[in-house]
A and B are shown apart, each in its own frame.
Chain A
């Protein structure tokens, strides 16, 4: 199929994950003619493979995220399965201490957190057991269904006149006179007035084409999911080294634990294997929720997360070319997506974010980073033997 004649758009978004789709949806809401290009199917990468957590209180986007999530189903016109609040509970003294500090930090940021005794934890999380030491109840944050949310953004965008072209990888950013003029794909060249790059791990290579440096290290992270259990009063129950959620269907989807650094070419990951780490995840979930220990694990999966050197997002409009906006969420992009899209919309249309300072998320913070930063950090594919040396075993 070639769409050589397909006209471009005022704004082209490269990447149909939650970040790119939310940005495109926000732009379409402002009446902008927008086209999303994805190398595959929307939400096929991290955006459809994550934990669905929406509680990133450290982020400058968080207040806006909190404002928006309860409105999203209505605004999008499709269900995201958003549920409010989270309970984090400890089954040992170390975790008790950590969660207490976390609660204090949230309170310092102005968010309400209630302390829970073990009986209260079991009320919110009936699958918890006698091993509960304490809990905290975040009276904010929440979780949603990533796959449904991705599709909701995509459909809502279409409903507002935006277009999505799947199986259309952006191969080359075309520039002229210091400005981006279009994007080349195997399905033709598409012209644009502004380009948004929200391509996950592939953002680094794309930006290099315009002389910008976006240092990213991709890694694989794994999750497991069980058969359904009766619905608990709170859908987000974390602890014991795990993050996760109970889906509205009742399944328990949990992740955590070691990741694996990868090298990924411009075409994206060839494979995203999940591994025997599913046994370690299963153990921790059986310990966290002893009353769920007999539930069957029915799947596992892995998704690829792109990490910046400090683990924080980059959301920035470049100075050269000035009509390119870039966003990489570095591992915390699902929950923040309602707000990250809004911020990108603002940068594209107004040149600045209307609701938060994003200065510290600028791409410029990495200009002095050494070329071999990944090696220095040990964020490259590492063999078992190298691992044994590193762990000094």
Chain B
């Protein structure tokens, strides 16, 4: 038996020092999160319930976490002043506090980890939280994820301007923020989500100009929509146009006759599909699988509560929202219809990185690299597909689609749909484009570990700190070898 050595430059022994520990951490104070927090506290647990709303105006502008499409009033810019109205709008929070739940609003959860493969040095589960000023870590025994679902966005000509938004974002701006700035809506989609969105809007005194469906028939019965709302099946949006404040009208085309009409509106709400907000689950390493009925890549769960990780459970829409077995087929049909409308060059699929649908399909290199070489120009999606199945992460590396500050929220689903249509395969076969911490784009100064353990600094190395790794080749095996270890230790630039 030889003595086991120790590598002071490795992570072991430097586990993040959580600034506190709670028994149960609940992420998301929607109805499901509040109910879960209440149940946990009534079961005798110590419970911290965290919700990122009100989110900073800057993040809303990036469509994080929801696809707000810029249709909010100036009120959202004053985050501190939004806390009270958000608290008041979330029914049940007062009761939760009464019952002993500790609540933090305006706090982002940007990562969470449990011990597992590749994390041998992590002693216990930990979550990363942040507000606008700083980040901190909280240890937990149990994490209840109630992060909800978000909208699937699909582009069409003119979509990348204020006024095109998602149904979940509209609901949030109406019911949580009371800060929606639109008046006249066109809704895209004809399923349950579209019907509920239309009813919500009309109930709030907004005008719903029309509900548009690219497919020949609506997905739910006409009487699910408010009376008097025009319903146009077999129509596709072909151009959203407007001015500096965004959308002012939408041109739609009858896909049978080709006739076009222009509808005056200030907002176009995409209500085509929801996908569970699985980003924290992906960071945690919970099993996810394509489950079309649940809206895409959803947590693998026997009961909608348990996950593959014993410390992590689900509450509410993050487990998936039932949208019928053909939910992804339906989305793909929408993407096909919008693709057929054309405008591949104008439709900017990835707004952050300005990647058009044409550029995506051609696997075109980004414009900052200048004109492509001859060889590059000859490379397109078809040649890439000859070499292996479509993979979004690979295409993202080449085109930069999905690599921007919105972390792919506006584009990842439509990239998958677009690739699937181009490859003539089911979008259900496209692997999930991976999520990485921080799952909210937060400034360096906020994420920074200003509270760092001195041991981290004392043992920090640029690279592994392997003795002799940087010794110049000629000196290897000579007496000069010792010199380099003495001079630098391992801490050499790379």
Q: Which A residues form the contact surface with B (CB < 8 A)?
A: 41, 48, 51, 53, 55-60, 73, 77-79, 81, 86, 88, 98-99, 101-102, 105, 108-109, 147-148, 151, 155-156, 159, 164, 166-167, 219-221, 226-227, 238-239, 241-243, 248-249, 256-262, 269-280, 282-286, 292-302, 305, 307, 310-312, 330-332, 357, 360, 370, 372, 375-379, 381-391, 393
- Interface bits B288-313 vs A (CB < 8 Å: 1, else 0): 00000000000000000000000000
Q: Min CB distance, B81 to chain A, in Å?
A: 22
- Interface bits B374-402 vs A (CB < 8 Å: 1, else 0): 11100100000001110100100110100
User: In the complex, which of the residues A151, A238, A307 contacts B493, with contact meaning CB atoms closer than 8 Å?
Assistant: A238
Docked CA distance A387–B254 (Å): 67
Task: Take A159-B375, A283-B448, A294-B444 as given contacts and tell me if A377 and B455 are in contact as well, using a CB distance cutoff of 8 Å.
Answer: no
Please indicate the chain A residues that have their CB under 8 angstroms from the CB of B444 in the complex.
226, 282-283, 285-286, 292-297
- Interface bits B12-41 vs A (CB < 8 Å: 1, else 0): 111110000000000000000000000000
Please indicate the chain B residues that have their CB under 8 angstroms from the CB of A273 in the complex.
113, 116, 118-119, 283, 285
Docked CA distance A307–B388 (Å): 30
- Is there an interface contact between B493 and A243, defined as CB atoms closer than 8 Å? yes
Q: Min CB distance, B135 to chain A, in Å?
A: 6
B3 contacts partner chain A, Cβ-Cβ < 8 Å? yes
- Is there an interface contact between B16 and A279, defined as CB atoms closer than 8 Å? yes
User: In the complex, which of the residues A56, A227, A384 contacts B15, with contact meaning CB atoms closer than 8 Å?
Assistant: A384
Q: Min CB distance, A221 to chain B, in Å?
A: 8
- Is there an interface contact between B10 and A382, defined as CB atoms closer than 8 Å? yes
Closest 8 CB pairs of A and B: A387-B13, A387-B12, A311-B469, A390-B6, A311-B466, A382-B12, A384-B123, A378-B5
Please indicate the chain B residues that have their CB under 8 angstroms from the CB of A108 in the complex.
472
Name B127's closest neighbour in chain A (CB-CB). A276
- Is there an interface contact between B447 and A77, defined as CB atoms closer than 8 Å? no
Task: Take A273-B113, A280-B452, A298-B441 as given contacts and tell me if A378 and B128 are in contact as well, using a CB distance cutoff of 8 Å.
Answer: no
- Interface bits B435-465 vs A (CB < 8 Å: 1, else 0): 0111001111101111010011001111110
Number of A-B contacts (CB under 8 A): 310
In this complex, the member of B111, B462, B493 whose beta carbon has the largest number of chain A beta carbons within 10 angstroms is B493
Docked CA distance A375–B137 (Å): 31
- Is there an interface contact between A376 and B11, defined as CB atoms closer than 8 Å? no
B405 contacts partner chain A, Cβ-Cβ < 8 Å? yes
Docked CA distance A48–B397 (Å): 9
- Is there an interface contact between A279 and B8, defined as CB atoms closer than 8 Å? no
Please indicate the chain A residues that have their CB under 8 angstroms from the CB of B462 in the complex.
238, 241-243, 256
Please indicate the chain B residues that have their CB under 8 angstroms from the CB of A384 in the complex.
12-13, 15, 121-123
Question: Which of B157-165, B316-324, B484-492 lies at the interface?
Answer: B484-492
- Is there an interface contact between B491 and A310, defined as CB atoms closer than 8 Å? no
Please indicate the chain B residues that have their CB under 8 angstroms from the CB of A391 in the complex.
6, 8, 13-14, 455, 459
- Is there an interface contact between B369 and A382, defined as CB atoms closer than 8 Å? no
Name B440's closest neighbour in chain A (CB-CB). A296
Please indicate the chain A residues that have their CB under 8 angstroms from the CB of B11 in the complex.
258-260, 275, 277, 387
Name A294's closest neighbour in chain B (CB-CB). B443
- Is there an interface contact between A270 and B3, defined as CB atoms closer than 8 Å? no
B234 contacts partner chain A, Cβ-Cβ < 8 Å? no
- Is there an interface contact between B448 and A279, defined as CB atoms closer than 8 Å? yes
- Is there an interface contact between B376 and A378, defined as CB atoms closer than 8 Å? no
- Is there an interface contact between B120 and A382, defined as CB atoms closer than 8 Å? yes
Docked CA distance A366–B463 (Å): 23
- Is there an interface contact between B492 and A261, defined as CB atoms closer than 8 Å? no
Enumerate 21 A-B pairs (CB-CB under 8 Å) in ascending A order: A58-B472, A79-B365, A108-B472, A155-B379, A249-B353, A256-B461, A273-B285, A279-B128, A279-B137, A279-B447, A280-B452, A282-B449, A296-B441, A310-B467, A311-B467, A376-B3, A376-B4, A383-B121, A384-B15, A390-B8, A390-B12
